[in-house]
């Protein structure tokens, strides 16, 4: 046991030195159409390499390109740049099937599209696997005549400017992971419509209310049949699978290019000033999220114990004699603790849920009997995790129950921790005795009165003396006759 | 998303004032045509690009709404790339747009019925009106136009109530559940229990008094103990000891502790009882009972 622990510690140490940043791994495969394209993203590559990723560049036609080796994913992460003009798809090594298998195996994918190029049907069908629909036009672009960069797209209005603080949705109870200060420039973006049914899909950046898609190749002067408008269009989309693998669709690949990292942009609204685009910061956050540097939550040990008698309100769990018992009795008070930590750059730190959100514990048999918000606390004894605790009374129902923490939230990896315990009913000698129940006193008194009466009767039977001498009944009777 | 429209609106109010050339519309008419009413039975309103209609437009389930207008760039009628009628539900922020079909001279129309609206817009919470705005914009430098033009109320149709789609699953904290415990066992009033306890206790002195009155006494104790002291002492002692065993069983003993002791006490009571009762019989034979 100790040997194994030592080994795993050693292994963990090794892994942590190799993976400097991502909680998952550092091997990143970049698929791009040709080598000449690579130079346009030099700052982006440098940023990734500085953060500890090992980049491998391949073209879709490269015979060496394979997502799997010996049936296991050969890379932790995949970055797909849009396939070039004239290609039908991503090639035989990147079919939608293989990419879905790659994600099912737990690897992460960042896919970038461009409105400048036509989108192959292979990409559309891959996206449909995630319930993301692209416009039926293979050439489509989002324009907004109200929020464009007037310094670079004065006429064409196809460089969208959006506030970076809305990235990741400023919804209540959702972790704010992707927002950046400043303004984002998304040139020639492809907008997608997200299916409503899946909780796995989230729009990181929606198009402004006045935006719409159109086909720039079409000669028509006005749009009359529009695919989607306004914030129905998602420009950057996040998909997190049930195994916490991440897939991100970036509608505008040009936003990652050097040209848009340092450029100054000016909003089309009159009176607005030129400012530096925040694309570089956003690209870091977006790749950070996709490649599991951000929003990674891990569950540590789970403890539960009977919070009664000598164990009541124990803060030092090591002193407990009976930890994580397999059986409890109904109506007893139980203390539950789970450790959660989140990945921060290169180590684990205590996890705190976003405002107005809570980690919840369900105590359930088929359906939850209790669903409680857990209170986070940190202890100096464990600086890498926060303890989420609850103390509650077990239901008055015996059976097989689960302590179940299921924490699934947008942009955070999934936590699912289940501990099964038996809850038994009272044993025959655990009920309160009759002498502590006031209502039982008439009955108790009845029994002991009877006992006293019996003893008295026995004494009377044994020792009573007739008061008068017995008269001869026979004689009297005879005399009477 | 909240910031942008407000920025856009603020910017727009500036644009219309500053920019010389901007998109707008003229000769706009809104018509609500009820299905049952014939020609001339329709409600008609003139729309102005500067100020929205003061009264809300009511669109019943069977009505259709039609807007005819001429889009203008500056003063001349032209076809813009984007001409939308946008409906906005203020409580949820949901938006749906209907594009105008336009001719080259800027003349265009849009027509829809409540059936064309998605459920979330077609059945807003009662008292909430949809904000309708007309959006005219195109490429180039002309200032785009986007202003609230009228409000639209959609009275629910009693004949064909809309079926609400199922709420899709979203990951979020769920409401807390606290188990409802069954009520504990009820107790009668303490006074009643006390009263009955004393009533039962009182039967013992009553029994004693009645027995004495009927001539009961313990006058032969000395005679009995004089004749057979061991037998009587042990028999009475074993009777009391048996009650003691029962008491110990009530307080804490289990059956395995109780039964052997009760057996021993029982045998002693049987043997000594035989002797003691022999003595009692002797007294009876003597005529002393």
Q: Band the pLDDT of A320: cuts 50, 70, 90.
A: confident
Contact (CB<8Å) B287/A470: yes
The model's pLDDT over A376-399, given as tens digits with 9 standing for 90+, comes to 988 888 888 999 999 999 999 999
In SS3 terms, B68-118 reads as EEEEEECCEECCCCEEEEEEECCCCCCEEEEECEECCCCEEEEEECHHHCC
Distance of CA A110 to the CA centre of its chain: 19
Last residue of a domain, one of A290, A325, A342: A290
Residue A431, in any domain of the structure: no
Query: How large is the average pLDDT for residues A63-86?
Result: 88
Total H helices, total E strands in chain B: 6, 11
Determine the length of chain A.
481
CATH classification of the domain holding A361: 2.60.40.1930
Radius of gyration of chain A from Cα atoms? 37
Give the three-class secondary structure for A161.
Answer: strand
Contact (CB<8Å) B139/A156: yes
Residue pair A453/B204 in contact by the 8 Å Cβ criterion: yes
Contact (CB<8Å) A145/B193: no
B98 touches chain A (CB under 8 A): no
Neighbours of B91 (CB within 10 A): 9
Q: Band the pLDDT of A90: cuts 50, 70, 90.
A: confident
Residue A358, in any domain of the structure: yes
**Are A352 and A370 members of one domain?**
yes
- For chain B, the average pLDDT equals 86
Contact (CB<8Å) B236/A458: yes
**How far lies B188's CA from each of A435, A445, B184, B191, B276, in Å?**
15, 17, 13, 8, 47
- Give the least confident one: A44-53, B123-132, B169-178: B123-132
Residue A155, in any domain of the structure: yes
Residue pair B97/B135 in contact by the 8 Å Cβ criterion: yes
Neighbours of A213 (CB within 10 A): 25
**Are A264 and A222 members of one domain?**
yes
B82 touches chain A (CB under 8 A): yes
User: Which chain A positions have a beta carbon within 8 Å of B182's beta carbon?
Assistant: 396
Write out the residue range of the structural domain in which residue B62 sits: 3-153
Beta bridge partners, A188, equal none
Query: How large is the average pLDDT for residues B25-50?
Result: 80
**Are A77 and A203 members of one domain?**
yes
Residue pair A236/A250 in contact by the 8 Å Cβ criterion: yes
**How far lies B279's CA from each of A461, B215, B222, in Å?**
12, 22, 13
**Are B226 and B136 members of one domain?**
no
pLDDT at B41: 67
Residue B97, in any domain of the structure: yes
Task: Find the distance separating the first CA and the last CA of chain B, reported in whole Å.
Answer: 111
pLDDT at B242: 96
**Are A310 and A219 members of one domain?**
no
Give chain B's domain count.
Answer: 2
pLDDT above 60 (res A344): yes
CA distance B128 to B278: 105
CA distance A109 to A132: 15
Query: How large is the average pLDDT for residues A41-53?
Result: 93
Query: How large is the average pLDDT for residues B177-199?
Result: 93
Give chain A's domain count.
Answer: 3
B286 touches chain A (CB under 8 A): no
pLDDT at A222: 72
Q: Band the pLDDT of A478: cuts 50, 70, 90.
A: very low
Task: Find the distance separating the first CA and the last CA of chain A, reported in whole Å.
Answer: 108
Which candidate, B276, B199, B208, B214, places its Cα nearest to that of A453? B208
Determine the length of chain B.
289
Beta bridge partners, B46, equal B29
User: Which chain A positions have a beta carbon within 8 Å of B140's beta carbon?
Assistant: 155
User: Which chain B positions have a beta carbon within 8 Å of A214's beta carbon?
Assistant: 81
pLDDT at A87: 67
Residue pair A393/A332 in contact by the 8 Å Cβ criterion: yes
Contact (CB<8Å) A208/B181: no
Write out the residue range of the structural domain in which residue A455 sits: 440-481
The DSSP secondary-structure symbol of B143 reads B
The model's pLDDT over B197-211, given as tens digits with 9 standing for 90+, comes to 999 999 999 999 999
pLDDT at A29: 95
B20 touches chain A (CB under 8 A): no
pLDDT above 90 (res A327): yes
Q: How far is A92 from chain B (nearest CA, A)?
A: 35
Contact (CB<8Å) A371/B176: yes
Query: How large is the average pLDDT for residues A4-31?
Result: 62
């Amino acid at each position: 046991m100790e040997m194994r622990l030592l080994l795993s510690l050693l292994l963990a140490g090794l892994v942590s030195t190799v993976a400097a940043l991502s909680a998952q791994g550092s091997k990143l495969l970049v698929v791009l159409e040709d080598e000449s394209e690579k130079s346009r993203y030099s700052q982006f590559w440098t940023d990734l390499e500085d953060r500890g990723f090992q980049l491998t560049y391949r073209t879709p036609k490269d015979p060496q390109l394979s997502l799997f080796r010996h049936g296991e994913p050969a890379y932790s992460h995949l970055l797909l740049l849009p396939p070039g003009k004239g290609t039908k798809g991503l090639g035989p090594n990147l079919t939608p099937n293989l990419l879905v298998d790659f994600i099912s195996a737990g690897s992460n994918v960042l896919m970038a599209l461009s409105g400048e190029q036509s989108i192959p049907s292979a990409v559309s069908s891959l996206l449909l696997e995630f319930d993301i629909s692209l416009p039926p036009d293979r050439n489509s672009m989002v324009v907004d005549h109200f929020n464009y960069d007037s310094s670079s797209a004065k006429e064409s209005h196809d460089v969208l400017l959006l506030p970076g603080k809305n990235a990741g949705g400023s919804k209540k109870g959702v972790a704010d992971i992707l927002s950046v200060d400043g303004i984002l420039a998304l040139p020639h973006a492809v907008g997608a419509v997200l299916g409503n049914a899946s909780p796995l899909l989230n729009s990181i950046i929606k198009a402004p209310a006045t935006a719409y898609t159109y086909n720039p190749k079409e000669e028509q002067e006005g749009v009359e049949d529009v695919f989607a408008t306004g914030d129905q269009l998602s420009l950057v989309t996040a998909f997190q699978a049930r195994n916490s693998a991440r897939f991100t669709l970036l509608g505008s690949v040009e936003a990652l290019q050097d040209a848009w990292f340092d450029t100054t942009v000016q909003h089309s609204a009159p009176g607005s000033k030129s400012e530096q685009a925040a694309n570089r910061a956003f690209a870091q956050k977006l790749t950070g999220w996709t490649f599991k540097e951000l929003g990674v939550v891990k569950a540590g040990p789970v403890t539960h114990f009977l919070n009664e008698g000598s164990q009541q309100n124990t803060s030092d769990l090591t002193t407990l004699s009976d930890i994580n018992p397999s059986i409890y009795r109904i109506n007893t008070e139980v203390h539950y603790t789970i450790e959660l930590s989140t990945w921060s750059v290169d180590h684990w730190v205590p996890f705190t849920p976003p405002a107005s959100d809570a980690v919840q514990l369900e105590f359930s048999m088929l359906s939850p009997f209790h669903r409680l918000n857990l209170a986070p606390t940190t202890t100096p004894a464990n600086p890498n995790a926060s303890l989420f605790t609850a103390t509650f009374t077990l239901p008055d129902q015996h059976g097989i129950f689960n302590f179940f923490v299921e924490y699934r939230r947008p942009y955070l990896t999934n936590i699912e921790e289940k501990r099964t315990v038996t809850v038994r009913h009272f044993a025959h000698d655990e009920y309160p005795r009759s002498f502590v129940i006031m209502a039982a006193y008439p009955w108790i008194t009845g029994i002991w009165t009877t006992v006293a009466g019996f003893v008295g009767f026995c004494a009377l039977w044994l020792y009573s003396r007739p008061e008068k001498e017995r008269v001869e009944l026979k004689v009297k009777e005879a005399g009477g006759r | 998303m909240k910031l942008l429209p407000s920025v856009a609106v603020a910017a727009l109010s500036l644009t219309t004032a500053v920019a010389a050339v901007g998109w707008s519309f003229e000769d706009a008419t809104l018509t609500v045509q009820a299905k049952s009413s014939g020609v001339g039975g329709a409600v008609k309103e003139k729309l102005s690009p500067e100020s929205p209609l003061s009264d809300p437009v009511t669109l019943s389930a069977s009505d259709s709404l039609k807007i005819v207008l001429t889009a203008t760039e500056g003063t001349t009628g032209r076809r813009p790339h984007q001409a939308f009628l946008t409906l906005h539900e203020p409580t949820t922020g949901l938006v749906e747009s209907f594009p105008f079909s336009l001719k080259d001279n800027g003349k265009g129309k849009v027509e829809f019925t409540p059936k064309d609206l998605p459920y979330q817009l077609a059945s807003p919470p009662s008292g909430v009106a949809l904000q309708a705005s007309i959006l005219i914009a195109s490429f180039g430098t002309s200032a785009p136009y986007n202003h609230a033009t009228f409000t639209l109320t959609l009275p629910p149709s009693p004949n064909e109530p809309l079926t609400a789609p199922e709420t899709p699953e979203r990951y979020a904290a769920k409401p807390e559940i606290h188990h409802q415990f069954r009520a504990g066992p009820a107790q009668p009033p303490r006074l009643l229990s006390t009263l009955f306890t004393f009533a039962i206790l009182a039967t013992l002195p009553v029994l004693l008094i009645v027995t004495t009155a009927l001539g009961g006494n313990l006058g032969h104790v000395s005679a009995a103990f004089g004749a057979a002291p061991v037998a009587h002492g042990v028999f009475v002692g074993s009777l009391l000891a048996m009650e003691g065993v029962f008491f110990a069983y009530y307080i804490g003993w289990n059956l395995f502790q109780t039964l052997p002791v009760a057996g021993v006490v029982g045998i002693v009571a049987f043997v000594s009882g035989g002797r003691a009762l022999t003595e009692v019989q002797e007294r009876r034979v003597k005529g002393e009972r």
